Amino acid sequence: MMDPAAVFCLDHPSAAKAAGLVGDFELPLFEVSGIAAKSSKERLRFFQDHLGHLPALAFLVSEDVVQLALIDDREVLAIRARFHGSGVDYRRAKGGSRSEIIARAVGLKGQKVPRVVDATAGLGVDAFVLASLGCRVTMLERVPAVSALLRDGLERSLLHASGNDPALEAILRRMQLVRTDAVEYFNRMAEADSPDVVYLDPMFPERRKSAAVKKEMQLFHKLIGPDKDADRLFQVALSRARDRVVVKRPRIAPSLAGREPSHRIEGKRNRYDVYLIASL
């Protein structure tokens, strides 16, 4: 598991947001403008020169966007949370059907629109899909750096949507972010607040052939490390969900905690293991 080592502010308009990260994470701040015009090798060398060791994680802030980057001796690999823009807008326009497997997995049917707790929010991709389908989604994220990316993505997209895209704004208003450990969150939860669905997408062990793993997942493995308490979270989720627990898994993965689901819904790459509370 790695923690961010620095904040790099890459332009003057982003100074306030970079300063906020410095205060939240107590990290050194390096300010440099004009680096976007440099070659990739020059940018890499600059980051390397200001970090004490490699590989290292760092926040990169430019054009008022917060990214988290993994910097090593060969490349800069950066991720951010995005809820608007070309790829996301296309997904929202072309997707969002209740026939999608994630919709069937959480039990969207007729007038039934479940309240969902996404207990392993990550970058909020699945939470956004569920909110697009009408669900109210509470996103739980315990890793502070990932939570910071989510918060930044939500704030930027809300600012973009306000007055310009009422449909997107409505989706984002259905998404709530809570920076917390999911097990602690459920243990504090009052019975009356129990969600209809708990959605889990635990980290799957890193594959030997890293080329087969998406770059985002490579970074997440460095940032989060092995998901050692996934089984414990799963058991707590089963005790808190009113209707079901849904676990997203790679198609090749064994059942979480060795427990077979009520049923499975399979896609091309992933599957959803559905645990119906009434049948347990």
Residue 277 token pair: 């509370």
Q: Give pLDDT, residue 260.
A: 96
Which residues of the chain register pLDDT less than 50? 208-213
Tell me, yes or no, whether 108 and 64 share the same domain: no
Cα gap 94→144, rounded to integer Å = 32
Tell me, yes or no, whether 41 and 90 share the same domain: no
- Residue 79 and residue 96 in contact, taking contact as beta carbons nearer than 8 Å: no
Tell me, yes or no, whether 24 and 133 share the same domain: no
Tell me, yes or no, whether 188 and 97 share the same domain: yes
Q: Give pLDDT, residue 39.
A: 85
Tell me, yes or no, whether 174 and 41 share the same domain: no
Residue 95 token pair: 């997707």
Q: Give pLDDT, residue 96.
A: 59
Total domains, the chain: 2
Q: CB neighbours (10 Å) of residue 214?
A: 8
* Domain that includes residue 16, residue range: 4-79
Q: Give pLDDT, residue 205.
A: 61
Residue 43 token pair: 């940018």
Which of 79, 105, 123 is at the close of a domain?
Answer: 79
Q: Give pLDDT, residue 95.
A: 54
Q: What is the CATH number of the domain that holds 189?
A: 3.40.50.150
Tell me, yes or no, whether 160 and 41 share the same domain: no
Residue 44 token pair: 């890499």
Tell me, yes or no, whether 122 and 256 share the same domain: yes
Which of 55, 79, 103 is at the close of a domain?
Answer: 79
Tell me, yes or no, whether 237 and 127 share the same domain: yes
Tell me, yes or no, whether 62 and 170 share the same domain: no
Tell me, yes or no, whether 145 and 214 share the same domain: yes
Q: Give pLDDT, residue 224.
A: 74
| DSSP 8-state class, residue 30 | E
CA torsion through residues 254, 255, 258, 263, sign:
negative
Cα gap 162→202, rounded to integer Å = 33
Which of 46, 62, 79 is at the close of a domain?
Answer: 79
Using alpha carbons, list the distances in angstroms from residue 66 to 1, 197, 263: 20, 30, 39
Query: What do you get for the CA distance between the two ends of the chain, in Å?
Result: 35
Q: Give pLDDT, residue 212.
A: 39
Q: Give pLDDT, residue 228.
A: 79
The amino acid sitting at 268 is K
Long-range contacts for 76-81 (Cβ within 8 Å, ≥24 apart)?
A: 76/40, 76/43, 76/44, 76/47, 77/215, 77/218, 77/219, 79/123, 79/149, 79/215, 79/216, 79/219, 80/123, 80/149, 80/152, 80/153, 81/123, 81/124, 81/149, 81/150, 81/152, 81/153, 81/154
Tell me, yes or no, whether 195 and 261 share the same domain: yes
Using alpha carbons, list the distances in angstroms from residue 122 to 36, 66, 187, 219, 233: 27, 15, 21, 12, 15
Tell me, yes or no, whether 178 and 64 share the same domain: no
Q: Give pLDDT, residue 94.
A: 57
Cα gap 96→162, rounded to integer Å = 21
